[in-house]
Each structure stands twice: as C-alpha cells, then as structure tokens.
Structure 1
Amino acid sequence: MEPMTDTEEEALKLIQSNPEGVLQSELWKLLNIDSRKCSRVVKKLVDSERIDRIEFKSNGVKTYLLKAKKSAVNPDLLLAGGELIPCIGCEEECSVQDCSHLMDWMYQLAIEEFTDQ
C-alpha cells in the first residue's frame, strides 16, 4: 500500500474521529484545502479501502458522507502462550487493574516476548 501524504493522514484522522461520518462538502473546509484537492484525497482514501463514500443530500444539495472503515483485528494480538485473552467472553465484573486472569495473561505475553529475544 502506498504511503499517505500529510493531508491524507489528517483527512483520515478527521473522518475516524467522527463515527457518524463527515460530509465531503465540509471536509475540505476543515482541512483548509480547495474542493478539487479534497476530491483527490477522498478518492485515494476510497481506493485504498480506508473509507466509504456514501451519497448524501444536505439541504437538498448532493454531497457525500465519508465514514472510516473498521479494520479487522489481528487474531495474534488476542493470543499469549496459545491462550486467548481472558476478557473475551468473560462474565466477571472487574476492573482492568484488579483482574487476576488478565494479569496472568499479560505476564505470559511478557515472558513469551522476553524468551523470543
């Protein structure tokens, strides 16, 4: 995947920070760029499958609603010592700081990382 420009990164961050989406007609103003450059930025983000572009009418004017795509979680990040993170499916009501199951899992992860070095 081609690296993003600063403007593309800024646009993506703005879109990701608004779960309900950002109107393309507003994005170029927020980025302080002209609408043509904004269209090119949006096209690159759509083509790289980072965002969705949905036709939208705002005050009777056609524009596009831009929403960030959710990326899949790497399943390797949920495993330590071949064990799934204990929070998945856990029904106990605890805090992250006081969960012995989570602490044991994190220690296992740290031990694995240390022994791999």
Structure 2
Amino acid sequence: MSDQEEEAFKVIQSHRQGVLQSELWKLLDIDSRKCSRIVKRLLDAGLIERIEFRSDGIKTYLLRAKKRAIDPCIILAGGEVLPCIGCDQECTPEECALLLDWMYQLALEEYQ
C-alpha cells in the first residue's frame, strides 16, 4: 500500500460513521481524480466499502472501513483466552494478576 493509500485508509478508519469521498480528497489535500484512484485500490483490496450518498442533490459516496476478523491467536496464550474478555473485576491492567499470568504464558510460548 502506498503512503497516500495508507493515509487515506487511516482517515477513513478515524471516522466511525464514514467519510464522504467528496470530503476525503480535501482532507488529503489531493485532487478528486487521484482520490478516486486511491479509493478504487482500497475497494479492490477489500479494506473499505462505498455507499452511494446524496448531499444537497449531489451524488457522492460514503466511505467506511470494513471490520476485519480478529486472528484468534492474538487472544490465546497457552490455550487460554485473554482473561479480560468477559472479566467483571474492577482492576487496572498494570495490576491484574490474571492478565499478568496470561502475558507470562504468552512470553513463554514466544521463547520456546
């Protein structure tokens, strides 16, 4: 991904409700034609979705980042799921014994 594509993707991700394509090129300080090419590449890569949108009678597109599936390996260590998922204890991550044990197990797996 080029620097401009990466920057465009970050801008789109930062707007939870999406960003209008007609605004994106202004935010990126590029011309609308170049923005269209960047949007096409992001669409082809499956990173964003484009929804037709009418603003003051003018057709444009709402761009939203697609949510990607999380790799389950990220939340597993030693066959155990990250303890914070579903945790009802009120603690701080720096002082949570369950989380520290889980992280220790993860470090051991990386070392081996």
Task: Give your verdict on TM over 0.5.
Answer: yes
**TM-score normalised to the size of structure 2?**
0.94
Question: Equivalent residue for 1:90?
Answer: 87
Residues 36-80 of structure 1 deviation map (CA, whole Å, 9 limit, x = unaligned): 111111011111110010111112211100011111111001111
Find the partner of 1:41 among 38, 43, 59.
Answer: 38
Question: Equivalent residue for 2:52?
Answer: 55
Provide the aligned C-alpha RMSD in A. 1.0
**TM-score normalised to the size of structure 1?**
0.90
Find the partner of 1:17 among 5, 14, 31.
Answer: 14
Q: CA deviation at 1:6?
A: 1.4
**Residue 72 of structure 1 pairs with residue 69 of structure 2:** yes
Q: CA deviation at 1:30?
A: 1.3
Using the aligned pairs only, state the percent identity.
Answer: 65
What SS does the aligned partner of 1:90 have?
A: coil
Show structure 1 runs of 5+ residues with no match.
none
The runs of 4+ residues in structure 1 deviating greater than 6 Å are: none
